[in-house]
Chain A
């Protein structure tokens, strides 16, 4: 996990100083910037705590190792379902999914399930969906989510078709 240091605040210092300069130079615009920032911080504080609590709960209660066992080549629909659930319940940016995918592959997960997992991780996270509903409304969020669901399947299917057996073997062998 990333450590918090003065470096993490670098961008904030710079833009904070610029906003102070703007305030002295153009007081009206400066004040409007502060109002937008203030409103947004309030909005965030109102809805962010439960999202993070949910992420924490998922992290603690759903151990990844336990699930990876049921994802092999013959896992069928169940394997697909678990792959989606694993991705959807995860927390973290997409690049955090690759090392986990590596572990899953090494433990015998099929490549198609890996692609589904990566897809679900990228765009189907449940805490994110709830947050999206709050920010952009249920119609926007749910239609986007449903389309992503379809997309994840299509992409995994075609990716599986796109790669010839040799290429698949190469990917899998790297992880053995």
Chain B
């Protein structure tokens, strides 16, 4: 376990302690909620971990690097951003996934674009969004978020490279 994980554990345990000290019932309720959201996420989560296993074993590093690697250029951005904009992958799965792809040849900027579009752009949920805010606002938000994700990718790449 690395240092940031240890620090994170300590912070959460302190918060949990404060919560327990202030209100026992609420703390138990919080733990139950934590357990529930974990359990609900578990099946899709394990499925994607298996999928990733298949990818890593059957898609050679070279292929990953070719399509979404550091030197994949515009095509790499395009692929990552489209996959990110369409799919609904929770962050708990997306981050380890990006980590694994990075270890197997994916580029940093491409992964930042992927994560950014994954979070901010929702093509599948657009009809739902439009039912609340109308199509103009929905299209406006999603399009702006899509293009902004490229800026995010570029800046993250610059920062990580320093």
Give the interface of A toward B (CB within 8 A): 1-2, 4, 8-9, 11-12, 15-16, 18-19, 22, 29, 32-34, 36-37, 40-41, 43-44, 46-57, 59-61, 91, 93-95, 98, 101-102, 115, 118-119, 122-123, 125, 128, 130-140, 143-144, 147-148, 151, 154-155, 158-159, 162-163, 167, 170-171, 174
User: Which residue of the partner chain B has the closest CB to A155?
Assistant: B144
Interface band, chain B? 35 or more
**Known contacts being A144-B112, A155-B144, is A132 close to B37, with CB within 8 Å?**
no
Query: B80 to chain A: closest CB distance in Å?
Result: 13
Q: B5 is contacted by which of A46, A144, A148 (Cβ under 8 Å)? A: A46
User: Is B21's CB within 8 Å of the partner chain A?
Assistant: no
Q: A140 is contacted by which of B2, B108, B128 (Cβ under 8 Å)? A: B108
Determine if B141 and A115 form an interchain contact, defined as CB atoms under 8 angstroms apart. yes
Q: B30 is contacted by which of A19, A56, A102, A171 (Cβ under 8 Å)? A: A56
Query: A49 to chain B: closest CB distance in Å?
Result: 8
Determine if A131 and B95 form an interchain contact, defined as CB atoms under 8 angstroms apart. yes
Q: B38 is contacted by which of A48, A130, A132 (Cβ under 8 Å)? A: A48
Query: A120 to chain B: closest CB distance in Å?
Result: 11
User: Is B31's CB within 8 Å of the partner chain A?
Assistant: yes
Determine if B116 and A29 form an interchain contact, defined as CB atoms under 8 angstroms apart. no
For B40-70 the 0/1 string (1 means CB < 8 A from A) is 1001111101111110111000000000000
